[in-house]
């Protein structure tokens, strides 16, 4: 049998930090790892995963645009991945793949364990309704936030996300052009891909309640615009998603190897290399 293989699948994938993060976790825990990045557009994902399986693939991280497609390639998925409609972690169990979603737990762990924030009862604004927003919405509601208002450029996707959550007492949608009229929020999460596309969101300062926490699910340069807006508007904390990236990787590592690495050294190393020094 060849060496067990691990990989991250996505498209594009060249700039993924996952191989470095998992290599660092492996060194820290003394587990020898073969973890690579595999470029796979949606059309070739299934055959590419089949090749990986044949080459003794034991575990894989899945990133965009493949997270929704990955659900259908699993024999079984966790309850959270089912609700989020997305799988970011594949684990080989016997002859089949099991799917998990560690993005949600990774987000909550970064907010609560790394940054020491209490999420309970926070009035929350979620910007975006794509794949990233789905996992964030479910994780934040599970963590005890108060009202969740979902605002998306195209309203139908916001409505579809809200409907799928089935908690009409807590979850509402509003139009993007109403952002100036929906009050202020204790927690604002940017789950749009605008920053990745180097596009700017025009957001009113009035969205930010005193001591509000603003969090961008993307990291580094892609989060600069949102974080700069939050700081200018006087947010209590303005964070990018680097911590979430490292925490979701640690959750995947724990599923595969049965031990959870210490994320702080890896987080701090990568933070020093990125053009964003978050404050809290």
Distance CA 267, CA 64 (A): 22
Nearest position to ligand ATR, beta carbon: 130
Q: Which stretch binds ligand ATR (CB under 6 A): 21-29, 31-39, 123-131, 265-273?
A: 123-131
Catalytic residue (choose from 5, 22, 67, 92)? 67
| Nearest distance from C-beta of residue 232 to ligand ATR, angstroms | 19
**Do 266 and 25 form a contact (C-beta atoms < 8 A)?**
yes
Task: Pick from 43, 121, 199, 262 the residue near ligand ATR by CB under 6 A.
Answer: 199
| CA neighbor of 124 nearest in space, from 47, 182, 77, 167 | 182
Q: Does 204 bind ligand ATR (CB under 6 A)?
A: no
Structure tokens at 184: 């202020």
Task: Report H helices in the chain.
Answer: 18-29, 45-54, 67-71, 79-84, 103-109, 131-142, 155-165, 224-232, 242-257, 264-273
Examine the residue annotation and report whether 67 is marked as an active-site residue of this protein.
yes
Q: Does 252 bind ligand ATR (CB under 6 A)?
A: no
Task: Pick from 59, 128, 220, 241 the residue near ligand ATR by CB under 6 A.
Answer: 128
Looking at beta carbons only, is 37 or 179 nearer to ligand ATR? 179
| CA neighbor of 217 nearest in space, from 191, 249, 194, 188 | 191
| CA neighbor of 247 nearest in space, from 116, 104, 126 | 104
Q: Which stretch binds ligand ATR (CB under 6 A): 99-107, 116-124, 131-139, 226-234?
A: 131-139
Task: Pick from 73, 132, 222, 223 the residue near ligand ATR by CB under 6 A.
Answer: 132
Q: Does 101 bind ligand ATR (CB under 6 A)?
A: no
**Do 139 and 165 form a contact (C-beta atoms < 8 A)?**
no
Footprint (CB under 6 A) of ligand ATR, residues 36-95 = 64
Q: Which stretch binds ligand ATR (CB under 6 A): 117-125, 146-154, 163-171, 264-272?
A: 146-154
**Do 261 and 231 form a contact (C-beta atoms < 8 A)?**
no
Distance CA 85, CA 79 (A): 10
**Residues that bind ligand ATR in the complex, under the rule CB under 6 A:** 64, 128-133, 152-154, 157, 191-194, 197, 199, 201
Residues with catalytic roles: 67
């Amino acid at each position: 049998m060849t060496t067990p293989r691990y990989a991250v699948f996505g498209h594009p994938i060249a700039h993924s930090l996952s191989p470095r993060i998992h290599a660092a976790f492996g060194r820290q825990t003394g587990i020898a790892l073969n973890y690579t990045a595999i470029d796979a557009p949606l059309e070739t994902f299934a055959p590419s995963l089949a090749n990986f399986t044949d080459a003794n693939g034991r575990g894989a991280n899945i990133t965009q645009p493949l997270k929704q497609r990955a659900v259908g390639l699993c024999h079984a998925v966790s309850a959270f991945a089912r609700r989020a409609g997305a799988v970011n972690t594949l684990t080989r169990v016997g002859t089949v793949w099991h799917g998990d979603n560690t993005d949600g737990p990774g987000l909550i762990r970064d907010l609560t364990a790394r940054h020491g924030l209490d999420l309970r009862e926070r009035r929350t604004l979620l910007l975006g309704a794509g794949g990233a927003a789905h996992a964030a919405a479910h994780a934040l509601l599970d963590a005890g936030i108060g009202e969740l208002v979902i605002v998306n450029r195209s309203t139908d996707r916001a409505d579809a996300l809200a409907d799928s959550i089935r908690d009409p007492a807590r979850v509402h949608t509003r139009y993007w052009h109403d952002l100036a009229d929906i009050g202020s929020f204790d927690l604002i999460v940017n789950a749009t891909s605008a920053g990745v596309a180097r596009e700017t969101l025009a957001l009113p300062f009035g969205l930010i309640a005193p001591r509000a926490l603003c969090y961008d699910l993307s990291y580094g340069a892609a989060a600069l615009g949102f974080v700069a807006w939050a700081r200018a508007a006087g947010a209590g904390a303005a964070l990018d998603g680097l911590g979430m990236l490292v925490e979701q990787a640690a959750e995947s590592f724990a599923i595969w190897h049965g031990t959870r690495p210490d994320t702080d050294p890896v987080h701090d190393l990568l933070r020093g290399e990125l053009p964003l020094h978050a404050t809290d």
